Structure 1
């Protein structure tokens, strides 16, 4: 049986206004739920994944990545942008709290190609408690992942449009998230403050060992698959079929950001280091 996390640690004192919550719901095309229950959470996560892209454009636009709840709301709502895990999961947590859910931030380590977990605070996931006392792992910041939240205390197979997921408790009491039998990340079952993730965000913004500074990605779930813009390569997956093409000219790239992801850019992001085909995670 999974150890229940300790009581949620209060994050920086920020409460969204009713206007913030309504603007966020409009951003993702959702109605305000009557109850902060599991059904509403499933709907909110899916709508978020369909409208707010997983992207690392700020790194390549020379923009600061500030782990501040109000600043991240402004980015997602006002600027109509997305972000990587620390950004979009933090913003989603603010929305959920504003709707009556209890939300804790969990740090996780992403499994690499060698099968070993990465650095601490490599990833952020959310532990969400509904008004009915159910606990779910919500995650809108891992790119190609589960479409719906995963039940925290269910250690059997959890079928999802994104695959078959399973939560496995380690000998140390952490929880491995598996997709189709392959470990994705290892969560520490201890709630954290937003400021604790600063080191992870700094690492992924600056370290040559992180793929984020070396690659450019903007990715969004669609009703039929996924669209990803990796530098100038547009990758479209539709019903299991994959299509790739190279966009020509800045205007076409700028148009793809606008038309496919809803992002208006005056200046295009430029990868300063080597370019690699980024796998949206």
Structure 2
């Protein structure tokens, strides 16, 4: 891995602490599922992820974003493990390992939760064993994780998993008609100091820090320009929904 190139992609330096690296990554790399709707394979090998996210200036979803960030943190000397989670989806939970997050331990030997791949919120290196506004350890080793505002999140399994263990749920997420990720393209990025911009299909959604939301329907050319100007993603064609008709993910 070219560490310097990766750090430049997220606007960080090797001297930054874990929380800063996490925040810079979350604000620089979009959460997006465009490959599913462009007919591109989802390859979670670090070399393929580096080419996609760093060299081609794309984003990804949890298995891609956290999968590559894990490799960077390991290069910087951190001890990194993959953790799996069930996402709270309405009245039900998803299957196990439907979400991937990271347990990261530095020189202080404190295990922290790092997550740059959830889409709706980030977990900025919070201690796994210490209750906080986002992390709530449970009896038996599981951890409940919520957004900074208390919004719905996921139930984290405290056990360590291998990268390959997430292969089946990654495939399901990217291919199955019941997966919301296959229903339509979405691309989202938080804005500094607060707020968010999202392109869901042709609908451009801007959310201000106070929750005010504006929506605009874009033409094909305007959508391509939005990918380029708002997210730094240059496409030669628009993504076409793999399994249209259902509700697609939003953030």
Q: TM-score, structure 1 length as denominator?
A: 0.84
Structure 2 Cα separation of the partners of residues 222 and 181 of structure 1:
20
Question: Does structure 1 residue 246 correspond to structure 2 residue 217?
Answer: yes
The correspondence for 2:67, drawn from 90, 93, 116, is 90
The residue number in structure 2 matching 1:107 is 84
The residue number in structure 2 matching 1:121 is 97
The residue number in structure 2 matching 1:173 is 141
Question: Does structure 1 residue 40 correspond to structure 2 residue 10?
Answer: no
Instruction: Give every structure 1 segment of 4 or more consecutive aligned residues whose post-TM-superposition deviation is greater than 6 Å.
Output: none
Quote how far apart the aligned CAs of 1:41 are.
Answer: 0.8
Structure 2 Cα separation of the partners of residues 128 and 187 of structure 1:
14
Aligned with 1:111: secondary structure?
strand
Instruction: Please say if residues 182 and 248 of structure 2, whose CA atoms lie closer than 8 Å, have aligned partners that are also in contact.
Output: no
RMSD over aligned Cα atoms: 1.5
5 Å-filtered alignment, 1:111-190, equals 111-114=88-91, 116-146=92-122, 148-155=124-131, 157-158=132-133, 165-169=134-138, 171-179=139-147, 180-190=149-159
Question: Does structure 1 residue 255 correspond to structure 2 residue 231?
Answer: no
Cα deviations across residues 221-254 of structure 1 (Å, max 9, x unaligned)?
1103111000011111122221111112x21111
The residue number in structure 2 matching 1:212 is 181
Quote how far apart the aligned CAs of 1:278 are.
Answer: 2.8
Instruction: Please say if residues 113 and 124 of structure 2, whose CA atoms lie closer than 8 Å, have aligned partners that are also in contact.
Output: no
Quote how far apart the aligned CAs of 1:166 are.
Answer: 3.0
**Structure 2 residues without counterparts, runs of 5 or longer:** none
| Greater RCO (Cα-Cα under 8 Å, separation 6 or more) | 1
Instruction: Please say if residues 168 and 178 of structure 1, whose CA atoms lie closer than 8 Å, have aligned partners that are also in contact.
Output: no
Structure 1 Cα separation of the partners of residues 196 and 189 of structure 2:
6
Aligned length: 247
Q: TM-score, structure 2 length as denominator?
A: 0.93
Quote how far apart the aligned CAs of 1:149 are.
Answer: 2.2
